[in-house]
Amino acid sequence: MPIVMYNGVAYTPRQILEEVERGTQLGAVLQQMVESGTPVLGQNPALSQSELEELAKMRLRQLLSRPTAALFAVLSNTGTGVTERVYTPQQILEEVEKGTPFGKQWIKAEENIIRRFLTLR
Could you report the per-residue pLDDT of 65-114, keeping only the tens digit for each?
A: 888 888 888 888 877 888 888 999 999 999 999 999 999 999 999 998 88
> Which residue segment(s) compose the domain that 62 sits in?
4-119
Model pTM score: 0.75
In whole angstroms, what is the distance from residue 76 CA to residue 82 CA?
A: 5
User: How many independent structural domains does the chain possess?
Assistant: 1
In which band, very low, low, confident or very high, does the pLDDT at 44 lie, cut at 50, 70 and 90?
very low
Contacts of 95 (CB under 8 A, 6+ apart): 87, 102, 103, 106
Tally the C-alpha atoms within 13 A of residue 61's C-alpha that lie toward its C-beta. 9
Q: Which residue has the higher pLDDT, 89 or 34?
A: 89
Mean confidence (pLDDT) of the chain:
85
